[in-house]
Structure 1
Amino acid sequence: MHRTAEQDIYPFKGAARRSVAVVLVSITALAIGLLFAVSLAYFKSLDREAAETRLLLYKRSLNDTLKRYQYFPFVLAQDPLTKETLSGSSNQRLNLRFERFAEESELEAIYLMDVNGLVLASSNFNQSPSFLGQNYAFRPYFTEAIEGRRGNYFGIGATTGRPGYFVSEPVMDTDGHVAGVMAIKLDISELQQTWEDGDETVLASNANGIVVLASNRDWLFGGLRDLTPDAFASIRATKQFGDRTIERLPWEKTGPASVRFGDNSYIYSEAEADYLNWNIHYLLSEGRAYERALLTTIVFGSAISLLVGFATYLRSKRIQAALAISQSDRDQLRNANRQLEQAHSELARSSKLAALGQLAASVVHELGQPISALRNYLTAEEIANDGAHHPLQQKLNGVVDRMESITKQLRFFTKPGEEKMERVLLKDVVGSALELMQHDLDMAEIKVSCELDNSVTVMGNRLRLEQVLINLLNNALYSLKEGAGAKLGIVVSQSKGLATLSVSDDGVGLGDRGLSQLQEPFFTTRASGDGMGLGLSIASSIVKEHNGELSAENRAGGGAVFSITIPVVAIKQEIMA
Structure 2
Amino acid sequence: MLQGDRLATRFYLSEGMSRADTALRLTVNGLEGHLRRYEALPELLADHDDIRALFAPGAEGRRQAMNMWLQETNDVLQSSDIYVMGMDGTTIAASNYQRADSFIGQNFAYRPYFTEAAAGRNGRFYALGTTSGVRGYYFSAPVRGADGAVAGVIVFKIGLDALESSWAGGEFRILVLDTEGIIFMSSEPEWRYTAMLPLTGERSERTTASRRYSDATIGLLPHSRSAEQGMPLLRLANRDAPPQEYLEATQAMPDAGWTVHVLVDTAYLRGQARLAVVALLLLICAAGFGAVLVWQRRARLAERMQMQAAAQVELERRVDERTADLARVNALIEMEIAERRLTEQELRRTQADLVQAGKLAALGQMSAALSHEINQPLAAARNYADSAAILIDRGEPVRARENVGQILSLIDRMAAIAKHLRNVARKPNEPLKDLALPLVVAEAMQIVGNRLQAAGAEVLVDLAPDLPPVRGGAVRLQQVLVNVLSNAADATEDGPDRRIHLTAHAEGDAVVIHIRDHGPGVPAAIAERIFDPFFTTKRVGSGLGLGLSISYNIMKDFGGELRVANDPDGGAVFSLILQSALPRRMAAE
Structure 1 length-normalised TM = 0.49
Larger Rg: 2
Structure 2 length-normalised TM = 0.48
